[in-house]
Amino acid sequence: MEIAHQKYGKLPWKRLFEPSIKLSRDGFKIPAELARRMRWYEKELINNPNLSSIYAPNGKLLSEGDLLKRTNFSETLELISKNGSEVFYRGSIAKSIVKTIQATGGIMTLEDLSNFEPVVSKPIYGYYHGRKIMTLNAPSGGPVLLSILNILEGYQLSKEGLNGLNLHRIIEALKFGFALRTEMGDPPFINNTERIEEIMTKDYAAKIRKNISDSITFEPPYYNPIYDVSEDHGTTHISVVDKDDQAVALTSTVNLIWGSQVMDSETGILLNDEMDDFSIPGVPNYFGLYPSPYNFVNPRKKPLSSCVPAIVENNGKFEMALGGSGGTRILSAALQVLLNVYDFEQDLLTSISAPRVHHQLIPNEISTETGYSNELLNELREKNHSIKMIEYKIGVSEIQAVMRLPNGLIHAASDYRKHGIAAGY
């Protein structure tokens, strides 16, 4: 954030923190979505002293409409606003974080934090029906998103519409995509960068299309996974564009809901559990499949991520920024919003609000939201698909996007699934 501000920012650094400091210090009324998730984790929030001091200050869980304050976190933000990132990585905040981590069984040291260096990398990009899609390279889901778009570009989706056959093709492309995802890892630490580049080509997509049957789906080994799937739920995304068409698609996460459930009592910082996104050598996952060697732990290595923030250009000009939250479902959600806009010609809000499907290869089933006709779902069953309705508590995907329309107006839309809102200025 500090590097982006130094390169592109116009407002004073300190001013960026003022709204968050005020909200943390003065408090805010708990919205419906936060209240719902607090109820899901009531036991954990009440039994954890540091979390209960915020979410259950009198021994009873706060509810929708109650005032939630984070006084110590506001003081932490104040320190960063005055001293920059230095105080976080090498100052008093760093010391407090390390103390808490070590007290709860972690091994992070002050040297670890001090040695952290942000990485500024060039985006990868591909073209979908002439539009330039820019996103993040591995270990994010960017290469897989571009590969799936290339696969689907070879079909006549816009001409035929979202019928049972085309939904089947989308699902099959997702299954191949999630198989490819098992070959992803942090590029500086793996020796398959040529493979990552290959899967983003149109020629490779054409080979995959030849393996997609219009009449039947297959068992997971058909798609050649190595295999590992990590899941996360504690993710958020914002998409922003200014009057000069400077656009930002920003995804951040603490991994699972409430991260590690460890909060530093002095700074109010909730610690993530991103280490869970790495694979463990020799330890099979929940489904009995062994993890991918491309995602084993190494010093300074980044784990596999589901994030796919993306910016779309049309004829060299900004057209859309989007991204989402929802673990592995982020990729399928972002894909379907792009298809809804560019193939099925829906406006942005309709594209985001439309029902979605998800398939991550294992388990070998389609997770589907309500809203699809029985006729369409039966077409999928006839092709041997297993269908399961999404359980809301497990987590649905949410997309936030902003788009410049052909008439020059800006259309922003936030997903109703998390009661999101769009804002203008």
Whether the Cβ atoms of residue 113 and residue 98 lie closer than 8 Å to each other: yes
Q: What is the pLDDT of residue 375?
A: 96
Mean local confidence (pLDDT), 40-60: 94
Banded pLDDT at 195 (limits 50, 70, 90) = very high
Mean local confidence (pLDDT), 343-351: 97
Residue 180 lies in a domain: yes
Annotated binding residue 248: no
**In the block, which residue shows the tokens 């991918």?**
292
Banded pLDDT at 253 (limits 50, 70, 90) = confident
Residue 388 lies in a domain: yes
**Boundary residue ending a domain (85, 115, 145):** 115
Banded pLDDT at 286 (limits 50, 70, 90) = very low
Q: Pick the catalytic residue from 76, 182, 235, 267.
A: 235
Q: What is the pLDDT of residue 288?
A: 44
Which residues have a Cβ under 8 Å from the Cβ of 315 and sit 6 or more positions away? none
Q: Note whether 139 and 211 are same-domain residues.
A: yes
Q: What is the pLDDT of residue 400?
A: 95
Alpha-carbon distance 16 to 322, whole Å?
Answer: 22
Mean local confidence (pLDDT), 42-59: 95
CA-wise closest residue to 175 among 305, 24, 359: 359
Token duo for residue 359: 């398939």
**In the block, which residue shows the tokens 């972002």?**
334
Mean local confidence (pLDDT), 395-418: 91
The total of other beta-carbon atoms located within 10 Å of residue 12's CB is 11
CA-wise closest residue to 134 among 1, 318, 281: 318
| Rounded-to-10 torsion of CA 381, 361, 238, 400 | -10
Mean local confidence (pLDDT), 326-336: 93
pLDDT tops 90 at residue 372: yes
Mean local confidence (pLDDT), 165-189: 94
Whether the Cβ atoms of residue 147 and residue 204 lie closer than 8 Å to each other: yes
Average pLDDT along the chain: 92
Whether the Cβ atoms of residue 266 and residue 87 lie closer than 8 Å to each other: no
Q: Note whether 351 and 226 are same-domain residues.
A: yes
Instruction: Report the CATH number that the domain containing residue 316 is assigned in CATH.
Output: 1.10.246.130
Q: How many percent of the chain have pLDDT more than 70?
A: 95
Residue 286 lies in a domain: no
Q: Note whether 404 and 368 are same-domain residues.
A: yes
Banded pLDDT at 227 (limits 50, 70, 90) = low
User: What domain range includes position 52?
Assistant: 1-115
Number of Cα atoms under 13 Å in the Cβ half of residue 172: 25
pLDDT tops 80 at residue 234: no
Annotated binding residue 328: no
Annotated binding residue 201: no
- 235 part of the active site: yes
Annotated binding residue 63: no
Q: Note whether 95 and 154 are same-domain residues.
A: no
Q: Note whether 215 and 326 are same-domain residues.
A: yes
Domain count, the chain: 2
Residue 371 lies in a domain: yes
pLDDT tops 90 at residue 20: yes
Residue 162 lies in a domain: yes
pLDDT tops 90 at residue 141: yes
Banded pLDDT at 290 (limits 50, 70, 90) = low
**Boundary residue ending a domain (97, 115, 133):** 115
CA-wise closest residue to 276 among 263, 266, 286, 265: 286
Annotated binding residue 327: yes
Q: Note whether 86 and 143 are same-domain residues.
A: no
Q: Note whether 136 and 108 are same-domain residues.
A: no
Q: Note whether 50 and 145 are same-domain residues.
A: no
Residue 215 lies in a domain: yes
Token duo for residue 49: 């002293």
Q: What is the pLDDT of residue 114?
A: 95
Annotated binding residue 357: no
Q: What is the DSSP letter of 61?
A: -
Annotated binding residue 254: yes
**Boundary residue ending a domain (81, 115, 149):** 115
pLDDT tops 60 at residue 312: yes
Mean local confidence (pLDDT), 161-167: 97
Which residues have a Cβ under 8 Å from the Cβ of 29 and sit 6 or more positions away? 65, 66, 67, 68
pLDDT in tens, 265-284: 999 999 998 888 888 877 75
Alpha-carbon distance 219 to 232, whole Å?
Answer: 25
β partners of residue 318: 313
Q: What is the pLDDT of residue 292?
A: 79
Mean local confidence (pLDDT), 385-397: 76
For 69-78, 102-111, 190-199, 229-238, which range has the lowest pLDDT when averaged over its residues?
229-238
CA-wise closest residue to 373 among 184, 168, 163: 163
Alpha-carbon distance 334 to 329, whole Å?
Answer: 9
Q: What is the pLDDT of residue 53?
A: 95
Alpha-carbon distance 50 to 3, whole Å?
Answer: 32
Token duo for residue 423: 């804002």
Q: Note whether 181 and 324 are same-domain residues.
A: yes
Q: Note whether 5 and 103 are same-domain residues.
A: yes
Residue 134 lies in a domain: yes
Q: Note whether 49 and 136 are same-domain residues.
A: no
Q: What is the DSSP letter of 240?
A: E
Residue 299 lies in a domain: no
Q: Note whether 186 and 322 are same-domain residues.
A: yes
